[in-house]
């Protein structure tokens, strides 16, 4: 089952895009400390699938952005209302319950 997991690469930019014979070649790279660019991996996409791939990435990025924004809004609303995100410790709740009895 572990062999089903694809390899992962970290890249913080696309250093080159080229097209030949109906295939787009996207070279992903890393920006090094001395501002040099080091290629990490090249992805080959059939030209007729490039638009679908870009659309999928854009859709996923939009969905993630919306979820993060919703979480930030919820946290901001909680702070404004004076809510304590952590709540009361269970031991403290038990003491309060005993005091009330």
Residue 97 domain flag: no
Q: What is the pLDDT of residue 97?
A: 53
Residue 27 domain flag: yes
Mean pLDDT of the chain: 86
Predicted model pTM: 0.64
For the chain, what is the domain count?
1
Instruction: Flag whether pLDDT at 31 surpasses 70.
Output: yes
Residue 94 domain flag: no
CATH code for position 42: 3.10.450
Residue 100 domain flag: no
First vs last C-alpha separation in the chain: 56
Host domain of residue 47:
2-81
Q: Does the CA dihedral 9-11-15-16 come out positive or negative?
A: positive
Local confidence band at 79 (pLDDT 50, 70, 90 cut-offs):
confident
Higher pLDDT, 40 or 75: 40
């Amino acid at each position: 089952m572990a062999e089903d997991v694809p390899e992962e690469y970290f890249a913080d930019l696309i250093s080159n895009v080229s097209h030949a014979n109906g295939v787009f070649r996207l070279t992903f790279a890393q920006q090094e400390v001395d501002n040099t660019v080091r290629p990490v991996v090249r992805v080959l996409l059939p030209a007729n699938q490039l638009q679908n791939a870009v659309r999928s990435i854009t859709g996923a990025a939009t969905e993630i952005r919306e979820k993060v924004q919703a979480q930030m809004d919820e946290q901001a609303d909680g702070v404004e209302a004076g809510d304590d995100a952590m709540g009361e410790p269970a031991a403290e709740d038990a003491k309060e319950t005993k005091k009330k009895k």
